[in-house]
Amino acid sequence: MRDFNEFTATLAVLERNAKCRDERLRQIMTSVVTHLHAIVREVEPTFEEWAFAIDFLTRTGQICNDKRQEFILLSDTLGVSMLVDAINHRRNSAATESTVLGPFHVSGAPHLQMGDSISRDGMGEPLYTSGKVADESGTPIGGALLDVWQTSHDGFYDVQDSRQPAMNLRGRFTTGADGRYWFRSVKPSSYPIPSDGTVGSMLAALGRHPMRPAHVHFIITAPGYQPVTTHVFVEGDPYLESDAVFGVKESLIVPFVRRDDASWAGRIGLGNPFYTAEYDFVLARTAPPGEHLVSMTEEIEEG
């Protein structure tokens, strides 16, 4: 095809890509090209608008570095991250619901003992978080690794805030045979996603606020179980209904209860008053090796 025009454009590109040997890549690129062309036909952008889009994506990339990930924010604020998450967790299961990873996870957080504090500067209202990790039948999971991170009392992650020591409010904990976990930190705060970049200007142009309701992040892994990446949200937060990244799920909202009990505070090594939050995580088993072969055999026998 030599006559590349408004009507032949899509087919021309799809035909050019048709020799791709990677079947999945060919499928994805067919979708990308078809939908991109459909957007252009529907919107009929001017050259200025098209150039703005290119410049927007260019600037989005240029802001990214080892501590700032503007493309994840873009995906999050357009609801794409949660859609990918929903599609990949369609299973019908009692396991803890997942939500966005977000751009502030740092690998290699310190491995701590149960009861330790992840707050390295002691700033904020004391918080005691506890619960257990169990399977779908309620049996405790020993050896589960909880990777925890959260904002400071005033809504910043350590990587955004030069006032905080490195690895502040981050830690990893491994459960014992009883599956229980407990640690100390400070009450997290609702916070704006970074709004000094392209995503912030997009939200402002759309009349949207950049706020996320207060939460604590968890990634929980255990051998033989499907890992879960999730948050525990603070009940009553004013942004639960309008999370900038659409990450809230009802099952992940828990009360953070204010306690005024000096003797309890003393026993757990916190200042009084303090807050407590409790959440029990449920992990689903990974399919045992060969399970899909059994079901295929059954299908063949039935068929």
**Member of 85, 101, 102, 234 binding Fe ion (CB under 5 A):** 102
Q: List the structure tokens of 83.
A: 């859609």
User: How would DSSP label each residue in 76-137?
Assistant: HHTTHHHHHHHHHT-----SPPP----TT--S-PPB--TT-B--SS--SSEEEEEEEEEETT
| CB 285, min distance to Fe ion, A | 28
| CB 252, min distance to Fe ion, A | 12
| CB 154, min distance to Fe ion, A | 14
**Given the rule CB under 5 A, which of 21-29, 57-65, 100-108, 130-138 is the region that contacts Fe ion?**
100-108
Q: Rounded distance, CA 197 to CA 210, Å?
A: 12
Q: Kindly tell me which of 16 and 208 has the beta carbon lying closer to Fe ion.
A: 208
Q: What is the CA radius of gyration of the chain?
A: 24
Instruction: Look at strands 145-150 and 170-174 and give their pairing.
Output: antiparallel
| CB 279, min distance to Fe ion, A | 16
Counting contacts by CB under 5 A, is residue 213 touching Fe ion? no
How far is C-alpha 129 from the chain's CA centre? 19
**Given the rule CB under 5 A, which of 19-27, 47-55, 96-104, 199-207 is the region that contacts Fe ion?**
96-104
Q: How many residues bind Fe ion (CB under 5 A)?
A: 1
**Given the rule CB under 5 A, which of 21-29, 64-72, 101-109, 239-247 is the region that contacts Fe ion?**
101-109
Q: What is the DSSP letter of 152?
A: -
| CB 67, min distance to Fe ion, A | 14
Asked if residues 97 and 89 have their Cβ atoms less than 8 Å apart, the reply is: yes
Using CB under 5 A, list all residues that contact Fe ion: 102
